[in-house]
Structure 1
Amino acid sequence: MATARHPGIKGRGSTGYLPGRFAVTTPETVDDGWHEADTEGDIVSAPQTELREEAARSVITRNQSPDIPFEQSLNPYRGCEHGCSYCFARPSHAYLDLSPGLDFETKIYAKTNAPEVLRRELSKRGYQPSPISLGINTDAYQPAERRLQLTRRILEVLAEAKHPVSLITKNALIERDLDLLAPMARENLVHVYLSITTLDNGLSSRLEPRASAPHSRLKAVKRLSEAGVPVGVMFAPVIPWVNDHELEAVLEAAHDAGATAAGYVLLRLPHEVAPLFRDWLQTHVPDRAAHVMSTIQQLRGGKDYDSRFGTRLRGEGVYADLLSRRFALALKRYGFEGRRHPPFDCTRFIPPRESSPQGELF
């Protein structure tokens, strides 16, 4: 793996700058003796987050993937400061000639005109409403959202238009927008999922260093549920021999907090994610690294990743079958079986009026 190696960078999921697959040049870090070192002699590296503005020409992305339960999505940000070591979206930074490693979690692009562009797209003649999934590629409630409030402004447009939306996040910041989500829920316009990968704070801090702690996410589930917002939990990703043993515990804790739906997704390692995750394993769980990757390859036909529809989210083989059975039994045991969020109501949609520089006459 051609990357500047670190023994682990506090607050970051990557250990270095893995070049993207389209990179023409490959930078290499060399210690020239002028860097500050810690007490053990390791070079101290604390890359800072850099926010960059992006003017979007369109914001609604449409997909026809047969194993994805939504047709439209919207991502206010490129890159994600949560720094999840396993994030399947990391390779997208390669298209920007940036590293899917540290650049992905330190160079964040904010689509600052997204609310205005969304309003324009929803106002187009002939637009047919279909639920929009918000924050699928990168988390819509990552730390930058606290200041920029792009996700909140997008929700305001959707609430005004009475347009259905689903959200998935691993940040308790979503509680901030309960004043918007609760009224939308009463009109069957919103579903929320909290992604909870582990209940172990130590493991969480290494897997997803700048996401909310597990107990904070469970509190968010409780607050959303008490406010009448349909809320579920995603145990994702399932990582063999790292967090897979927690499946039942996570579902039980989420149910106790008020979650009424649950799902899981097996670890995905497309493109640059595979070497990045291998590096994470060697850094944080070297005793299990080979066993983890061996099991993953058993699930993926002998490869690090299999992108085929139908198997990419669940895998195949003995381990995949056992995991599926465990999940089904846990749904039954903890009261999820047969429960679903109320269906979205697309009949309420009102095309928003486009903003005009001339203002309103009436």
Structure 2
Amino acid sequence: MPFRWSLNPYMGCAHRCTYCYVRGYERRADRPSGEEYGQSVRVKTNVADVLRQELARRSWRGEGVAIGAATDPYQPVEGYYRLTRKCLEVLAAARNPFSIITRGPMIIRDIDVLQEASRRAEVHITFSVPTLDPTIWRKTEPGTAPPRQRLRALRAVVDAGIDAGVGIAPVLPGITDKPELLTDVVRAAREAGATGVWCNVLFLAPGTREHFLEHLARDWPELLPRYERLYRATTYLAKSETEPIKRQVASLRERYEVADRRQVKLEPAPQPEQLSLAV
């Protein structure tokens, strides 16, 4: 999911996912990236005001903004500060396109704002659902809402006319890449009304690598040698490792006919056509 501009109302994340790539950023900034990460969250209290000023610049071209690339915008602290909601209101007022990636069912609180934004600009929501397996979920995403709760939120968002799909990210080799587990997620996404499904395979940068492998040694010790071999000299796995998984998810997407089936599609009105004047 490439993007040029991102927005994160918070720094740090209470979800404490063991594989979170942001741990690498925190380490480079000389901030805690191990078990301490996520125990405190820094709040950008003026983020909506700064966003409004940036969108008003004459140089701003109305490009898409990705929300949640470095911290979940709907982690628990959002229930109090409501900064994500304020940012959505600013983006909607500016008719600026945006996307959101989240594991937080709290997003249903903001369906009204998302509907208004969808009528004004392109809006897309991704619910991250790496697995439905309860044991794997508890071990790898200790601070997150249960996966099926996220899917219920997805259903509510889609039924409201908003474009929303599922990201199986990250896929963990030897853990969540089993065909039956991937099938469970794609089938459940289809049943929840997802407009699309995509996946990414785990990558491990310094800062994340050490923390993840420590948890792997505790929870799946038999897989530690494989991971040490796969990620010995690289952050990203070779295509020979990742492409078979991506092809499998693509095949499942076709098999279960995951597509945009919204009964009501909220979309911005088409731009008026500029007619030429014949003389």
TM-score, scaled relative to structure 1? 0.69
Deviations 1:229-249 (A, max 9, x none): 101100000101111112221
Alignment map for 1:172-191 (pairs within 5 Å): 172-191=105-124
- In the alignment, structure 1 residue 275 sits paired with structure 2 residue 192: no
Alignment map for 1:144-293 (pairs within 5 Å): 144-245=77-178, 246-293=181-228
Would you say the 8 A contact 2:67–2:99 is kept in 1?
yes
Match of 1:137 in 2: 70
Would you say the 8 A contact 1:239–1:266 is kept in 2?
yes
Would you say the 8 A contact 1:239–1:267 is kept in 2?
yes
**Counterpart amino acid of residue 251 in structure 2:** L
- CA-based RMSD of the aligned residues comes to 2.3
**Counterpart amino acid of residue 68 in structure 2:** G
1:102 Cα shift?
2.4
**Counterpart amino acid of residue 276 in structure 1:** H
- In the alignment, structure 1 residue 117 sits paired with structure 2 residue 50: yes
Q: Higher mean Cα deviation, 275-284 or 285-294?
A: 285-294
Match of 2:254 in 1: 332
Match of 2:277 in 1: none
Which has the larger share of helix? 2
TM-score, scaled relative to structure 2? 0.88
Deviations 1:126-150 (A, max 9, x none): 3210111111111111111111111
**Counterpart amino acid of residue 333 in structure 1:** R
Match of 2:239 in 1: 316
CA distance, structure 2, for counterparts of residue 198 and residue 92 of structure 1: 25
CA distance, structure 2, for counterparts of residue 262 and residue 254 of structure 1: 8
1:291 Cα shift?
3.0
Q: Unaligned regions of 5+ residues in structure 2, if any? A: 272-279
CA distance, structure 2, for counterparts of residue 135 and residue 305 of structure 1: 21
- In the alignment, structure 1 residue 303 sits paired with structure 2 residue 233: yes
CA distance, structure 2, for counterparts of residue 347 and residue 88 of structure 1: 38
Q: Higher mean Cα deviation, 98-107 or 218-227?
A: 98-107
Would you say the 8 A contact 1:175–1:224 is kept in 2?
yes
Match of 1:106 in 2: 39
Query: 2:25 aligned to 92, 106, 109, which one?
Result: 92
CA distance, structure 2, for counterparts of residue 220 and residue 130 of structure 1: 27
CA distance, structure 2, for counterparts of residue 219 and residue 124 of structure 1: 38
**Counterpart amino acid of residue 212 in structure 2:** F
Question: Aligned to 2:217, what secondary structure does the other structure show?
Answer: helix
Match of 1:357 in 2: none
Aligned residues: 267
Q: Residues 180, 286 of structure 1: CA spacing in aligned structure 2 closer, same or farther, 3 A cutoff?
A: same
Question: Aligned to 2:43, what secondary structure does the other structure show?
Answer: strand
CA distance, structure 1, for counterparts of residue 64 and residue 266 of structure 2: 10
Deviations 1:148-183 (A, max 9, x none): 111011111111112111000011111110011122
Question: Aligned to 2:124, what secondary structure does the other structure show?
Answer: strand
CA distance, structure 2, for counterparts of residue 321 and residue 129 of structure 1: 33
Q: Higher mean Cα deviation, 102-111 or 218-227?
A: 102-111
1:104 Cα shift?
2.1
Say which one has the larger Rg. 1
Deviations 1:306-326 (A, max 9, x none): 4xxxxx6xx322x33321321
Q: Unaligned regions of 5+ residues in structure 1, if any? A: 1-67, 307-311, 349-362
Would you say the 8 A contact 1:167–1:193 is kept in 2?
yes
Would you say the 8 A contact 2:119–2:268 is kept in 1?
no
Would you say the 8 A contact 1:236–1:264 is kept in 2?
yes
- In the alignment, structure 1 residue 76 sits paired with structure 2 residue 9: yes
CA distance, structure 2, for counterparts of residue 111 and residue 344 of structure 1: 30
**Counterpart amino acid of residue 326 in structure 1:** Q
Question: Aligned to 2:76, what secondary structure does the other structure show?
Answer: coil
Question: Aligned to 1:194, what secondary structure does the other structure show?
Answer: strand
Alignment map for 1:4-15 (pairs within 5 Å): none
